[in-house]
Structure 1
Amino acid sequence: MDEITLLRSVLFLPAANPRAIVKARTLDCDAVVLDLEDAVAPAAKPAARDAAVAAVREGGWGHRALLIRVNALGTTWSADDFAAIAGLLGLAGIVVPKVADAADAAIAVERGGELPIWAMVETPAGVQAADDIAATPGITALVAGTTDLAADLHARPRPDRSPMMYSLSRIVVAARAARIAAFDGVFIDLGDAAGLAAEATQGRDFGFDGKTLIHPGQIDVVNRVFSPSAEELVYAHGLIAAHKAARAGDRGVTTYAGKLVEGLHVAAAQRVLRAAEAIAARG
């Protein structure tokens, strides 16, 4: 299993907030994204950029993957953002907002140097071009920018996210076809833990590898949802054992818990076990 698929919780925080940066080094999220875009006022962007670079160089992030979200291509600040962080040691990647097509993706990869690029799909054009964006060499993840996308679609918010289903599916399918990661969008109602759990569960069931977050209080819920449950581990062990026994007895087909077992089911069970092992290894 690729390391990136173990990033269950991806926390965005403003790079202009030094207290948030200090606190983030103690949180149980799997990744931290120092934000230079939406969370930073225009006048504060140069200082935020310097603070983000300093935070990367200071280190101390432990198991947490550290990324920086730059300002969108074509904005006043984007070129300087890339220039400041391209090749920065200790950085796991660059998150690029509002990637609209393969041309945008290629520009981001070129400006990022050797750093992996996470492309945010948060416009209708980006959804339509998701396949081409994901297939661009150097793009290692797609991130659903659901808040901006819903606004552009004129979609009304619904707990089941039915207006977003096509877009979410397109993002996951594009990522899987390109063999890269996919991360679900943020949940903005900070007081609704049940709603967060329901949306995270939906994102997991869609096939997303993890979920982006806007507050530390969301980490535990999302980590739990995107981690294998005790029941899933028991089922995975049992299914693999049943398949192994069938092979040992020269039986090409077997069942487990009343269901047919094929190679794809075994592979899925093995992914569950590898995820659990990797999570346990992180402590």
Structure 2
Amino acid sequence: MTDSSPVFRPRRSVLYMPSSNERALEKAKTIPADAIIFDLEDAVTPDAKPAAREAAAAAVQSGEYGRRELIIRVNGIGTEWHDEDIKAAAAAGPDVVLVPKVNSAEEVHQLVAALEAAGAPEKTKLWAMVETPIAMLNALSIAQAHERLTGFVMGTNDLVKELYAEHVPGRQPVITGLGLALLAARAAGIVIIDGVYNDVKDAEGFQAEVEQGRQMGFDGKTLIHPGQVEPANEGFAPSAQAVEDARGLIEAFESATGGVVTYHGRMVENLHVESAKRTLAIAEAIEALQD
């Protein structure tokens, strides 16, 4: 569906931009984020939502954002803005429509039906924000609900709130939820993007959370400030050494004539080759973005 296929799309940095802010939308054209979320939800006040809806649709259709993946985050199911958001997003035809607080497979089917009824093109996929305890426990059924759903975005702020937990370094209070969502995403073969880091002035803390997210297996991170883009891009990209090792490992495996295959003293099996090929696919896709 996504990353398991030969064609890989980088999603290292997924930047929220308020669609009610014209200057922010203009600035987003020059920010080297892999994806832009034109936000109609939390970043937009109620009185500004209709104008923000129009601005997001216009931005998506402008053709001025290069190779960035373009995402519209609508307001959630049951809000007074949701239906009109879905209609506008479907008509605009972004790469993705992102919906907050998706809690069940039934809601996924409801959202897919609404997008199709509104005439969304086939290329417009659905991503679900998973950010509640019930979503964590239903993560696999949500991830497998429909082929149009191709991604999860973690809503860690809401999850912390719902758990009556605290934001702490290392994110121990939400590790179980992160793990459940990751397991479900990988089982279903969909993308999964880590949640935001709230303190834009804490570069060290942000870097630590990027590293944690990469080590856990997230495809990238949602961001709330342009200054977080470059560290996320670097953190979720394979290092030069990792790329070199991947090439060497594949070469050693493919040139073997029998017996145990080793690379730098370590045994090489099919699973290592698959991981190495994914590393090269990511590196090549990132390089293609810069052409």
Are the structure 2 counterparts of residues 4 and 108 from structure 1 closer, same or farther at C-alpha, using a change threshold of 3 Å? farther
Contact 1:197 1:221 in 2 (8 A): yes
Identify the residue that residue 199 of structure 2 maps to in structure 1: 189
Identify the residue that residue 124 of structure 1 maps to in structure 2: 133
Are the structure 2 counterparts of residues 4 and 111 from structure 1 closer, same or farther at C-alpha, using a change threshold of 3 Å? farther
Identify the residue that residue 38 of structure 1 maps to in structure 2: 42
Contact 2:103 2:134 in 1 (8 A): yes
Identify the residue that residue 72 of structure 1 maps to in structure 2: 76
Counting only pairs closer than 5 Å after superposition, residues 23-172 of structure 1 correspond to structure 2 as 23-89=27-93, 91-113=94-116, 114=122, 115-137=124-146, 138-172=148-182
Post-superposition Cα deviations, 1:32-66, rounded to whole Å, max 9, x if no partner, equal 00000000011111111111111112221101011
- State yes or no: 1:211 paired with 2:214: no
Question: TM-score when scaled to structure 2?
Answer: 0.93
Are the structure 2 counterparts of residues 4 and 268 from structure 1 closer, same or farther at C-alpha, using a change threshold of 3 Å? closer
Post-superposition Cα deviations, 1:263-282, rounded to whole Å, max 9, x if no partner, equal 01001001111111111111
Deviation at 1:239?
A: 1.1
Identify the residue that residue 277 of structure 1 maps to in structure 2: 284
Q: CA RMSD in A?
A: 1.2
- How far apart in 2 are the matches of 1:232 and 1:57? 38
Counting only pairs closer than 5 Å after superposition, residues 244-255 of structure 1 correspond to structure 2 as 244-246=254-256, 249-251=257-259, 253-255=260-262
Deviation at 1:4?
A: 6.2
Deviation at 1:245?
A: 2.5
Contact 2:58 2:92 in 1 (8 A): no
- How far apart in 2 are the matches of 1:128 and 1:4? 29
- How far apart in 2 are the matches of 1:31 and 1:182? 13
- How far apart in 2 are the matches of 1:267 and 1:66? 29
Gaps of 5+ in 2: 117-121
Contact 2:249 2:273 in 1 (8 A): yes
Matched position secondary structure for 1:86? helix
Identity of aligned residues (%): 47
Contact 1:5 1:209 in 2 (8 A): no
Deviation at 1:224?
A: 0.1
* Counterpart pick for 1:267 among 271, 274, 282: 274
Matched position secondary structure for 2:92? coil
Gaps of 5+ in 1: none
* Counterpart pick for 1:11 among 3, 15, 21: 15
Contact 1:122 1:149 in 2 (8 A): yes
Question: TM-score when scaled to structure 1?
Answer: 0.95
Structure 1 residue identity aligned to 2:35: A
- How far apart in 2 are the matches of 1:38 and 1:264? 41
Contact 1:87 1:112 in 2 (8 A): no
- How far apart in 2 are the matches of 1:25 and 1:5? 19
- How far apart in 1 are the matches of 2:223 and 2:211? 14
Structure 2 residue identity aligned to 1:208: F
